[in-house]
Amino acid sequence: MRSVLLAMAIVFSAFSAEAAAQVPNFPEGSQTRWVVDQPQEIVAYVVFDPVVVKRELPQSLRFINLRELATAGIPWAADYLVNHPTQGSWGISFLEIVRMGTFIIDGRVPNWPKDGAAALWFARVAPSDPAVNLGPGRPYLALEFWIPDRDYVAYMHEKGYSATYGEAKLLQDSDGTWRGTINAEELRVTAACMPVGRVSGGTGSAGSQMFFPPLSSSVKNVVRVAFAGHRERECGNGSSLDLHGTHPLTGGVALEPMVFEYGYILRGGTYPK
């Protein structure tokens, strides 16, 4: 068994090194340094009514909606609107419950509880003025970024990252099912994912994103990230996502299937707007 584990560690180290070499450069001038490695995460794509979070949207941004995605030829958006024709103005977002081997900002790591994880709810946005160029990376509004360490949440604020306290966990059952939970203000989430089918992605998958803070946050910085090495499998039969509470997220509709992602490396930092 020891030799098998050692072999797996060697393979993973080689994969991590290759993925790291593929991570795109992000712009110079970063005020902080953020590194994520060895992640494992349940990801759900959630459509939502933008009215419920309108107060969090900066005037310089707008939500990407389903109607424009369908018009642009995105098949899943067109299919969704066939069955939900009144939701063309709804936005698209992703919800993640993610645990990581490495999560470090300027040399400091969170104090993770047993099975502790981070969780985030980010929505796709675009500039209100189409003539504005935001630079490299797909833009998102960071509606929520939950961390189960109050002191580290305060530290993230100091470093220019928008975050709030929330108790998130992610663990794997003996049968291979991944189970995640979020317990935060006005929100309870339970998720289950049994990864099935082929693995997509790998070291060739690379990209960049930028995250804007919500208006309610005291943070005003923009976070830019670059990543490579995403591997993904669909969540099969028996997978589920349950949203409870009065939080705006609970009115959203999770698209199927959810996915399980792992293996990527992410580097990022904060920039003034």
Instruction: Sketch the domain layout of the chain as residue ranges.
Output: 2-271
Q: Which fold has domain 2-271?
A: Acetoacetate decarboxylase-like (2.40.400)
Is this prediction's pTM over 0.85? yes
Listed as ranges, residues in the chain with pLDDT below 70 are: 1-21, 202-204
| Per-residue pLDDT reduced to its tens digit, 227-268 | 999 999 999 998 999 999 999 999 999 999 999 999 999 999
Tokens 């690379």: give the residue.
206
| Per-residue pLDDT reduced to its tens digit, 92-111 | 999 999 999 999 999 999 99
Question: Does residue 268 come out as left (phi exceeding 0), alpha (psi in the -120 to 50 range) or beta?
Answer: beta
